[in-house]
Structure 1
């Protein structure tokens, strides 16, 4: 009997974990009775009653497992680490807030049985804030044009992954993994399925501007070179223009020594313009260096505090 793992990362999801658990088990009992399953929760140091509820679920069903992180290790490390701990023939990754429809689990398994190693779920519509959806669309299209590697638009990680892909994830040893990029980069046989993303069933999202910015910059620095190229080209252009301006100013000063007076305005404008460009590109280079620094330190993805039913 084939075994299917379902991984659910959690952070302050006390209103969702119990009904989600029941909904997932119901899908297996009603639509996938010929498969064994394990349901793994990996909790990123929730501050509410989430862990207590998960402990209760594990106590009543040994096929429900839990990993409790010692602290919050971020929205990318925790799911990635959890996927590497699953033991099924394939692993389904889905969020805990019901935005990823549990009704799609049988469809994902059916596509996997056809031979696809990865079944990725692509949002074509979303019932979230329309402004946020528009901004995400702009971001995905921008990254897609900048990157040399295929980027999957509106892919959040929700989908099914064969155990051969999970084995590859274990070998990567990337301390800052960006799963959405890795899925497209490694070239496993993939099937894309479209779906409409629902609203959160309950609770409040933990995503804020900092987390969204962190996700965007991780993708940008991991899969694009254009930032560094723009900095290089802009540096050449501005240095050339500065040299031309300096020569022209010197010639005019020599020809019209007594009468020529350009004042300090051009110098001030030039200093501020070039200075602002330098600061911008210094910050951009800093993002790349920071990403390199984290990888060089090679710290563990997460540190476990407790695991249950493994």
Structure 2
């Protein structure tokens, strides 16, 4: 039978794990003709998440787990899970039960019809503030305008991926990952499913506005160089305006003589130009920092334990 792996990144999810397991298993137990694996990736949790996952493995052979050596972030945790997937398809889910497991049979149906990427699109987002919904919508609109890739709006990581998509994703080893963009970038045959997103079943979200802002910057800088072009265009425009203003000052001085007045306007222009320069340097710095991180070619993660077995770090000696 075909094997379908359900990948669950988990970071401090001790409160919701029992509910998640019961609800998911009640769904997959009713699906015949498929084998399932529940692969939990413990992303350096500081609570009893790992212990609860191990307890689940003792009572259900379908439960597997990866324990990362520290907290690497959700994007890297998903990559680590994909590296260990051996099945024919992969379903990515969050442990907070905002992604309804009841959609799994429908995802499998479309997969069997030939779709490689069956993704769930949110019709509504319960439990989220108006500010978060609005800023999220604005971000996706901006990203779609800046890049040539057809970015999917109002979609998360909840989706079913065929083996071809899995292999494509794990072949890209960039350290600064924005997986939602990579899902769109790899292409393949996609199918959309609409659903209403629920509030968290338990616990608190790990995504604050600072982390969401970092993720937004990651998405923009990973899939478009428009900010760099914008900095160049802005620099040329400001230089042109400064040259015209300088020409105006010279002509005015020649015709009417020098004047002490005008200090506020000069300071305003200098501060404005200085601010634009700092903005452009900041944009350049974001891209330069990413080049620096990629040039180090560090491993994306280290695994502390896989299914009760300690993992050894492989060292390659280059001669």
Would the TM-score normalized by the shorter structure come out above 0.5?
yes
Instruction: Give the whole-Å Cα distance in 1 for the aligned partners of 2:268 and 2:134.
Output: 36
Displacement after TM superposition at 1:4 (Å): 0.7
Instruction: Give the whole-Å Cα distance in 2 for the aligned partners of 1:131 and 1:256.
Output: 54
Q: Which residue of 2 aligns with 1:275?
A: 274
Q: Deviations over 1:217-267 (max 9, x none)?
A: 111001122211111111001111111111211121122226x44332222
Instruction: Give the whole-Å Cα distance in 1 for the aligned partners of 2:18 and 2:308.
Output: 17
User: Is structure 2 residue 293 aligned with structure 1 residue 294?
Assistant: yes
Greater shift, 215-224 or 124-133, is seen at 124-133
The residue correspondences of 1:1-310 to structure 2 (distance < 5 A) are: 1-30=1-30, 32-127=31-126, 128-257=128-257, 260-308=259-307
Instruction: Give the whole-Å Cα distance in 2 for the aligned partners of 1:263 and 1:214.
Output: 41
Contact 1:9–1:43 under 8 Å retained in 2: yes
Contact 1:126–1:196 under 8 Å retained in 2: yes
Instruction: Give the whole-Å Cα distance in 2 for the aligned partners of 1:179 and 1:57.
Output: 28
Greater shift, 91-100 or 285-294, is seen at 285-294
Displacement after TM superposition at 1:309 (Å): 6.3
Greater shift, 170-179 or 67-76, is seen at 170-179
TM-score (norm 2): 0.93
Higher relative contact order (CA 8 A, sep 6+): 1
* Partner SS, residue 172 of structure 1: coil
Greater shift, 87-96 or 208-217, is seen at 208-217
Displacement after TM superposition at 1:130 (Å): 2.8
Contact 1:62–1:309 under 8 Å retained in 2: no
* Partner SS, residue 54 of structure 1: helix
* Partner SS, residue 272 of structure 1: helix
Instruction: Give the whole-Å Cα distance in 2 for the aligned partners of 1:196 and 1:104.
Output: 11
Displacement after TM superposition at 1:75 (Å): 2.1
Residues matched between the structures, number:
308
Greater shift, 264-273 or 88-97, is seen at 264-273
Root mean square deviation, CA, Å: 1.4
Displacement after TM superposition at 1:19 (Å): 1.8
* Partner SS, residue 29 of structure 2: helix
Instruction: Note the residue ranges of structure 1 that are not aligned, 5 or more in a row.
Output: none
Q: Which residue of 1 aligns with 2:313?
A: none
Instruction: Give the whole-Å Cα distance in 2 for the aligned partners of 1:307 and 1:153.
Output: 35
Contact 2:151–2:184 under 8 Å retained in 1: yes
Contact 1:176–1:301 under 8 Å retained in 2: no
